């Protein structure tokens, strides 16, 4: 570690010497929970990269594209508790390339620290390389950004940026360090001591009392959990058991409640959810929502029915009651609030075991019927339900799955059982395709002992699939299951229903073995149901190399999600446009 610790007072560390800005950046990053940085060096960051190459604590990783670097860094924050993903990138072009990943972190509430170089500030010249106002560029997708002016600011600004990224609603932050400040040395007297962030306890006694009262009086309570609840899933399980309440999750929060718990229902609870969830919440008269913002995906395009008795816990005060009015709002960190709610329910002696048994039996029956419906949908391609069941059987409980955005995402959500917190990561609200392949690299680097798999659509794989070369170079055992259907299916299915026609969504045939050969990955093909078990076993065999698995998937049965959201969306159209849509689809059906 770069040390400057000759003497240390309570809040300052003595440095006392000439230091380059790059040395100071390394010094600051080494004190943060940063294990890896991602980025492609350029003339504005070479001094920084030279410093990082000497670090024993931080490993600088070269991706193929800054967007991939950002997705990989995001997955570090999501899958490694307490760690923060970090980018070290060139100004302007590096930042614009990274912006999809930065945006993903922004809308999904994921901390990310972006360090970027900047043009020289010690010369008069204009029109410098990469010369652009970066703070303006990223304004809508970061919590805050800084442009450092001098050496003494570097350590305090990076510490403050980290604190901003992880506190409140977590999110991305950006620090620009002009290249002259990085390259040249200047005297620096001291630096602040780094103090880890602890969530602050809020005084919510009155709200907690009301919440307990409402929950205990409810006849049919339900629980809805999101990513904001991912670190309190044990407490949530106990609350659900005490109340005999079914639990539904968001897409991003699929891992916030174990999929094999008998009270787990599925993603969402609208008509776009699987029957176990839709039925379990049909008579819900009190909803306890934890770490959710009631966004578009998990509500099935806002098509869910939310009872008047909504108890809403979220770290964002703005999210509470934003989409559905809350009777009781508790703004704060779920890690603080949920254990206190559980303690109060326990003290009150809440026990609904008869209700619990009834609810669990209904969920089990509905889940089994839904699985059977899928199992019986057979043709000569790979059945998604049989694939996900076998994958679950072969994977350890704590395996991490990264998914992309597409039909495969919702198939995974409906048919794969996620069992542990932070074991399922998806690009949710910014909803950027191309996420899964690089995210798996970040997840594996942060969790080298754990199995990491990726479910990725063929379209998404074409965006960032060459990032598999990074996994090859780093010797990462990752199984990339490419759902090969030749289409941008999530959209083409969405076109088929209301338009009875597809446009601009056919990919054509891609020879994935050629890509595997080009990057040096293993290639496995799964063409039909009889090849599922063997193919997955081959893909998961440790070899120090990633595997690209070409899964000839059957997309002929639509997910509940797709069917549900299309119906809900059309319902909200003005009458005139609804009639136009329906008659157009009908005419096209008749005329072809």
Ligand X SMILES: Cc1ncc(C[n+]2csc(CCOP(=O)(O)OP(=O)(O)O)c2C)c(N)n1
- Both structure tokens of 238: 């106990």
Q: How far apart are CA 426 and CA 431, in angstroms?
A: 8
Burial, 20: exposed, middle or buried (Cβ in 10 Å; 0-12, 13-18, 19+)?
A: buried
Q: Which residue's CB is nearer to ligand X, number 257 or number 555?
A: 555
Q: Please choose, from the candidates 45, 43, 39, the residue with its C-alpha nearest in 3D space to the C-alpha of residue 65.
A: 39
Q: Which residue's CB is nearer to ligand X, number 348 or number 377?
A: 377
CA atoms within 13 A on the CB side of 528: 4
When CB distances are held under 5 to 8 angstroms depending on the partner's kind, the choice from ligand X, Mg ion, none that residue 334 binds is none
When CB distances are held under 5 to 8 angstroms depending on the partner's kind, the choice from Mg ion, ligand X, none that residue 298 binds is none
User: What count of other Cβ atoms lies within 10 Å of the Cβ of residue 571?
Assistant: 11
Q: Which of residues 457-476 bind Mg ion (CB under 5 A)?
A: 457-459
Q: How far apart are CA 270 and CA 224, in angstroms?
A: 12
The nearest distance, CB 410 to ligand X, in angstroms, is 9
When CB distances are held under 5 to 8 angstroms depending on the partner's kind, the choice from Mg ion, ligand X, none that residue 433 binds is ligand X
For Mg ion, which residue has the nearest CB?
457
- Both structure tokens of 484: 């090969």
Q: Which range touches Mg ion (CB under 5 A), out of 265-273, 348-356, 477-485, 579-587?
A: 477-485
* Residue of the chain from 467, 485, 550, 554 that contacts Mg ion (CB under 5 A): 485
Q: Which residue's CB is nearer to ligand X, number 408 or number 558?
A: 408
Q: Which range touches Mg ion (CB under 5 A), out of 85-93, 264-272, 347-355, 479-487?
A: 479-487
Q: How far is CA 103 from CA 86, 266, 431, 460, in A?
A: 14, 27, 9, 17
The nearest distance, CB 256 to Mg ion, in angstroms, is 28
Q: Which range touches Mg ion (CB under 5 A), out of 109-117, 306-314, 426-434, 478-486?
A: 478-486
When CB distances are held under 5 to 8 angstroms depending on the partner's kind, the choice from ligand X, Mg ion, none that residue 460 binds is ligand X
The nearest distance, CB 378 to ligand X, in angstroms, is 20
The nearest distance, CB 514 to ligand X, in angstroms, is 18
Q: How far apart are CA 384 and CA 408, in angstroms?
A: 9
User: What count of other Cβ atoms lies within 10 Å of the Cβ of residue 227?
Assistant: 29
Residue 160 backbone class (left: φ over 0; alpha: ψ -120 to 50; beta: rest): alpha
H-only helix segments in 352-406: 353-375, 384-394
Q: Which range touches Mg ion (CB under 5 A), out of 175-183, 316-324, 483-491, 492-500?
A: 483-491
Which helix (DSSP H) or strand (DSSP E) does residue 173 occupy?
strand 172-178
**218 CB-near residues (< 8 Å, 6+ apart):** 243, 285, 286, 309
User: What count of other Cβ atoms lies within 10 Å of the Cβ of residue 544?
Assistant: 9
Q: Which of residues 431-460 bind Mg ion (CB under 5 A)?
A: 457-459
Backbone φ and ψ for 451, nearest 5 degrees, come out as -75, 135
**373 CB-near residues (< 8 Å, 6+ apart):** none
When CB distances are held under 5 to 8 angstroms depending on the partner's kind, the choice from Mg ion, ligand X, none that residue 438 binds is none
When CB distances are held under 5 to 8 angstroms depending on the partner's kind, the choice from Mg ion, ligand X, none that residue 221 binds is none
Q: Which residue's CB is nearer to Mg ion, number 269 or number 555?
A: 555
Q: Which residue's CB is nearer to ligand X, number 479 or number 488?
A: 488
Q: Please choose, from the candidates 440, 347, 346, 451, the residue with its C-alpha nearest in 3D space to the C-alpha of residue 395.
A: 451
The contact set with ligand X (CB under 6 A) reads 404-408, 431-433, 457-460, 483, 485, 487-491
When CB distances are held under 5 to 8 angstroms depending on the partner's kind, the choice from Mg ion, ligand X, none that residue 431 binds is ligand X
Q: Which range touches Mg ion (CB under 5 A), out of 426-434, 488-496, 529-537, 557-565?
A: 488-496
The nearest distance, CB 458 to Mg ion, in angstroms, is 4
Q: Which range touches Mg ion (CB under 5 A), out of 180-188, 367-375, 485-493, 532-540?
A: 485-493
DSSP state of 530: G
DSSP state of 193: P
Q: How far apart are CA 278 and CA 495, in angstroms?
A: 25
When CB distances are held under 5 to 8 angstroms depending on the partner's kind, the choice from Mg ion, ligand X, none that residue 550 binds is none
For ligand X, which residue has the nearest CB?
457
Total number of residues shown for the chain? 592
The nearest distance, CB 490 to ligand X, in angstroms, is 4
When CB distances are held under 5 to 8 angstroms depending on the partner's kind, the choice from ligand X, Mg ion, none that residue 491 binds is ligand X
When CB distances are held under 5 to 8 angstroms depending on the partner's kind, the choice from ligand X, Mg ion, none that residue 562 binds is none
Q: Which residue's CB is nearer to ligand X, number 319 or number 460?
A: 460
Which residues in this chain contact Mg ion in the complex, by CB under 5 A?
Answer: 457-459, 485, 489
């Amino acid at each position: 570690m770069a040390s400057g610790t000759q003497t240390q007072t309570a809040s300052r560390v003595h440095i006392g010497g000439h230091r380059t800005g790059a040395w100071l950046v390394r010094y600051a990053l080494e004190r943060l929970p940063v294990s890896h940085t991602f980025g492609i060096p350029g003339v504005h960051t070479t001094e920084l990269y030279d410093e990082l190459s000497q670090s024993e604590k931080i490993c600088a990783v070269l991706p193929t594209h800054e967007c991939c670097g950002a997705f990989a860094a995001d997955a570090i924050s999501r899958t490694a508790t307490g760690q923060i993903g970090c980018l070290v990138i060139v100004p302007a072009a590096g930042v614009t390339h990274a912006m999809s990943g930065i945006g993903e972190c922004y809308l999904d509430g994921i901390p990310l620290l972006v360090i970027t170089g900047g043009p020289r500030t010690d010369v008069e010249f204009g029109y410098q390389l990469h010369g652009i106002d970066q703070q303006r560029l990223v304004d809508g997708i970061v919590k805050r950004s800084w442009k450092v002016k001098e050496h003494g600011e570097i350590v305090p600004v990076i510490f403050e940026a980290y604190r901003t990224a992880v506190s409140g609603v977590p999110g991305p932050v950006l620090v620009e360090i002009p290249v002259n400040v990085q390259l040249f040395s200047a005297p620096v007297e001291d630096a602040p001591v780094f103090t880890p962030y602890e969530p602050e306890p809020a005084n919510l006694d009155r709200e907690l009392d009301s919440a307990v009262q409402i929950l205990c009086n409810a006849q049919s309570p339900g629980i809805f959990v999101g990513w904001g609840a991912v670190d309190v899933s044990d407490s949530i399980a106990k609350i659900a058991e005490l109340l005999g309440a079914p639990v539904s999750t968001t897409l991003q929060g699929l891992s916030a409640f174990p999929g094999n718990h008998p009270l787990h229902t599925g993603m969402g609870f609208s008509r776009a959810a699987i029957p176990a969830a839709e039925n379990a919440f049909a008579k819900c008269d009190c909803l306890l929502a934890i770490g959710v913002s009631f966004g578009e995906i998990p509500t099935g395009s806002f098509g869910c029915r939310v009872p008047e008795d909504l108890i809403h816990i979220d770290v964002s005060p703005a999210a509470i009651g934003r989409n559905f009015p809350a009777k009781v709002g508790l703004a704060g960190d779920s890690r603080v609030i949920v254990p206190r709610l559980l303690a109060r329910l326990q003290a009150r002696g809440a026990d609904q075991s008869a209700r619990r048994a009834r609810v669990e039996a209904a969920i089990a029956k509905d889940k089994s019927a839904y699985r059977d419906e899928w199992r019986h949908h057979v043709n000569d391609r790979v059945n998604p339900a049989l694939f996900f069941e076998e994958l679950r059987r072969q994977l350890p409980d704590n395996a991490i799955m990264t998914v992309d955005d597409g039909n495969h995402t919702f198939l995974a959500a409906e048919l794969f059982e996620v069992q542990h917190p932070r074991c399922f990561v998806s690009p949710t609200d910014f909803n950027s395709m191309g996420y899964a392949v690089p995210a798996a690299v970040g997840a594996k680097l942060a969790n080298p002992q754990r199995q990491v798999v990726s479910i990725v659509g063929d379209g998404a794989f074409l965006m960032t699939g060459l990032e598999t070369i990074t996994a090859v170079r780093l010797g990462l055992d990752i199984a990339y299951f490419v759902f090969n259907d030749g289409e941008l299916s999530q959209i083409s299915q969405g076109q088929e229903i209301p338009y009875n026609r597809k446009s601009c969504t056919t990919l054509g045939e891609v020879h994935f073995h050629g890509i595997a050969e080009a990057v040096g990955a293993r290639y496995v093909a799964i063409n039909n149901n009889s090849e599922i078990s063997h193919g997955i076993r081959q893909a998961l065999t440790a070899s120090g190399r990633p595997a690209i698995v070409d899964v000839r998937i059957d997309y002929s049965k639509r997910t509940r999600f797709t069917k549900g959201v299309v119906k809900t969306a059309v319902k909200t159209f003005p009458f005139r446009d609804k009639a136009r849509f329906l008659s157009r689809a009908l005419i096209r059906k008749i005329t072809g």
